[in-house]
Amino acid sequence: MSFTKIWIHLVWATKKREPVLHKELRTQLFKHIRENAKEKNIYIDFINGYTDHVHILISLAVDQTVAKVVQLIKGESSYWINNSNLTAQKFEWQDDYFAVSVSESGVDKVREYIKNQEEHHKKKTFEEEYNEFMEKYGFEVLRAKAH
């Protein structure tokens, strides 16, 4: 039997960063995402977010890829929101997402960061958070090389 422990911090936003994830919807959504992920053997350690985005800390299983896990979570959750008529308009996630590895020693720090999203976003917009992620993890450099 193979053993892995690969922590990944995932972040993605609603389409056009629309602030449609009100508190009650987030509570329902995060519960649903956890239940759905469990059925698909996706281990979610922590999940939270704000009105226009989601943060999830996962641990990948031996046979999982980041792309597949994100596809399963985002696809099924948007389907569930629309099928349950939980938003006034059709709900969509943006196509893109962030995924960064987390060292074992950094897991508690990431949990705290995810846990405190509401407080965090009283001081900082998602746009500011997005730009910090881009810079902190060198995504700007990667994006520039791709063009």
> 126 is in which domain, residue-wise?
6-146
For residue 122, being part of any structural domain is answered with: yes
Angle at 130 between CA 103 and CA 65, to 5 degrees: 45
How many Å separate Cα 108 from the centre of its chain?
A: 17
Q: What's the CA gap between 25 and 23, in Å, rounded?
A: 6
Q: What's the CA gap between 64 and 68, in Å, rounded?
A: 7
What does the pLDDT read at residue 118?
83
CB neighbours of 60 closer than 8 A, spacing ≥ 6?
Answer: 4, 6, 8, 43, 66, 69
For residue 1, being part of any structural domain is answered with: no
CATH number of the domain within which 140 lies: 3.30.70.1290
- pLDDT (tens, 9 = 90+) of the chain, 147 residues, equals 788 889 999 999 999 999 999 999 999 999 999 999 999 999 999 999 999 999 999 999 999 999 999 999 999 999 999 999 999 999 999 999 999 999 999 999 999 999 988 888 888 888 888 888 888 878 765 555 555
How many structural domains comprise the chain? 1
